Amino acid sequence: MQTPHWHSDDASPFHHGEQAVQRRLGVRDSIEPWARQVVRAFLPDQHREFFKQLPFVVAAARDATGRPWVTLLTGAPGFVSTPDPTSLHIAARVLPGDALEGALTAGAELGLLGIELHTRRRNRVNGTIDAVGINGLTLTVGQCFGNCPQYITERSWHQVDVKPGDASATHYQRLTRGMQAWIGSATTLFIGSGYRGKGRHAGYGMDASHRGGAPGFVAVPDDRQLILPDYSGNNHFNTIGNLVADPRVALLFVDFEKGSLLQISGKATIDWDSAEIARHPGAQRLVAIDIEQIVQLDGVLPLRWSAPEPLYSLRLVKKTKQSEDVTSFEFVAQDDAELANFMPGQHLPIELHIEGHAQPIKRTYSLSNAPGEGRYRISVKREPHGTVSRYLHDKLIVGDIVNAQKPEGDFVLAPGERPVALVSAGVGVTPMVSMLQAMAREAGERPVYFIHGVRNGSHHPFADEVRALAKRHPKVHVNTVYSQPRNSDRQGRDYDHRGHIGIDLLTAMVPALDADFYLCGPSGFLADTVAALSESGVESDRIHTETF
């Protein structure tokens, strides 16, 4: 039985502050239908499994005066459990001296972020504390949704014993020089915000989120202010929307080596369009935070983390123009060593040093080749104002070196014998090509339906590659949809249908819709396709999505 998403007659998952930001930035119409599919009022099974293996969660709440703070709640894996899809139990207490000590009481709003630093996976849950006892607290879920893994620094963790005499808590109103150095070297922070208006609304409550970047990505103008860049993300604008409606904000910096916490609470002002933004590579906006209160907790965490995972140097060996605006880049290890393997559908985090930018810029791109080839291929659409995509297309040449982390991501093919439908739009085709190549190599005759929508032939990457693959493998069925064919595009040769991918086409292509569906493309395309498949009876555990 399917558990329903937000119904069309329910309130939007976004409150008025979030909606105002989405409207201001031109994404309101596209993000709402997609969010109604992915923002849930319950914990899906995969999120329940994810939370129960964590050794800590990030928690955002307000103290007795209404001031927001962020902290970590820790315990042995399993300390977070989910008695049912709408509740979450945390067998932990706030640490002594913490800014939120005594604040997590029944009725309090709580924003949680579950994050695995060693895999870069994360999920967010917002809700209200239903009960508190000697065994911890129980949260009633208000909203639950996943997050993209960008800007997360990969680390592994281990447990340690904390002796009472080794921990301390100190209160400040200004940053000490030591704190400024701590913040200046940070690659990770957690931010807490929230908004509650009148009445009831699904979007009200507290929110905990992650921000990351190269050391120095948070600027420290003086001992009472921080400047935080806001990078591109999922277009929900939960944090920014909260701050528009309520400027009170909280930050948490973690000393991963020493197990210390730096909690900061203050008020935020958003810089939407000043010249200062250009001084922060990749930033879309800036958040200026005026500091009001600080709590430093030294040596309090029973966890320690490794240094960030090392970067690997890759050498570009081939650059191929796939379409008018998509180019593929193939890399091998700089030292010709064996590359870490990957699963079809995963992405490659890369880091680039671009002239004019003081700090390296990080991006993640889906791998578009099959595993086991001894190289990584990413295929990137050139965006007119994209700093990194323009650099890759216009500047990077064969022989150049880029840094990368190991491939990662959980948008991968699930094992099984059921037919597979790979459905994509635009540059969302990139992970699908990797999956298609891998499945074509599989033994057996499991059908693969490859359905791709694009504007026309000049914007159709991998056209020849996919057609050639389909000719060699009878189990591969391809259907291409052009929304605006050129005069030179021929139906039956270059494309199969005119228009857009819809449920009628999917039903015609995939017998009885009996397949595992993998979808990748813009949020509007995903929202429409997920809704159509769900309404046609496809179970949610057979629909897998990736946006960009």
Per-residue pLDDT tens for 242-257?
Answer: 999 999 999 999 999 8
Per-residue pLDDT tens for 477-499?
Answer: 999 999 999 999 999 999 999 99
Residues 393 and 442 placed together within one structural domain of the fold? no
Q: Where are the beta strands (DSSP E) in 147-274?
A: 157-159, 168-172, 188-195, 205-212, 219-222, 225-230, 248-255, 260-271
Side-chain-side CA neighbours of residue 525 (13 Å): 22
pLDDT surpassing 50 at residue 229: yes
**389 is in which domain, residue-wise?**
312-404
Pick from 11-20, 141-150, 263-272 the range whose average pLDDT is largest.
Answer: 263-272
Residues 81 and 130 placed together within one structural domain of the fold? yes
Tell me if 5 is assigned to some domain: no
Number of domains in the chain: 3
What's the pLDDT score for residue 523?
86
154 CB neighbour count, 10 Å cutoff: 18
Residues 267 and 372 placed together within one structural domain of the fold? no
Tell me if 240 is assigned to some domain: yes
Domain boundary among 273, 305, 337: 305
Residues 6+ apart with CB under 8 A from 82: 43, 48, 51, 52, 88, 89
Tell me if 4 is assigned to some domain: no
Question: Does 360 or 67 have the greater pLDDT score?
Answer: 67
Question: Does 239 or 33 have the greater pLDDT score?
Answer: 239
What's the pLDDT score for residue 149?
54
Per-residue pLDDT tens for 385-420?
Answer: 888 999 999 999 999 999 998 998 889 998 888 999
Question: Does 279 or 129 have the greater pLDDT score?
Answer: 129
Residues 451 and 399 placed together within one structural domain of the fold? no
Res. 441 pLDDT band, cuts 50 70 90: confident
What values do phi and psi take at 481, rounded to 5? -120, 125
CA angle 348, 30, 210 (to 5 degrees): 45
Whichever domain contains 210, its CATH number is 2.30.110.10
Tell me if 8 is assigned to some domain: no
Residues 393 and 472 placed together within one structural domain of the fold? no
Domain boundary among 305, 321, 347: 305
Full-model pTM: 0.77
Whichever domain contains 517, its CATH number is 3.40.50.80
Tell me if 410 is assigned to some domain: no
Say if CB 292 and CB 274 are below 8 A apart: no
Residues 65 and 178 placed together within one structural domain of the fold? yes
What values do phi and psi take at 435, rounded to 5? -65, -40
Percent of the chain with pLDDT over 90: 74
Residues 186 and 113 placed together within one structural domain of the fold? yes
What's the pLDDT score for residue 153?
61
Nearest to 117 by CA among 74, 76, 153: 153
Residues 193 and 333 placed together within one structural domain of the fold? no
Residues 290 and 385 placed together within one structural domain of the fold? no
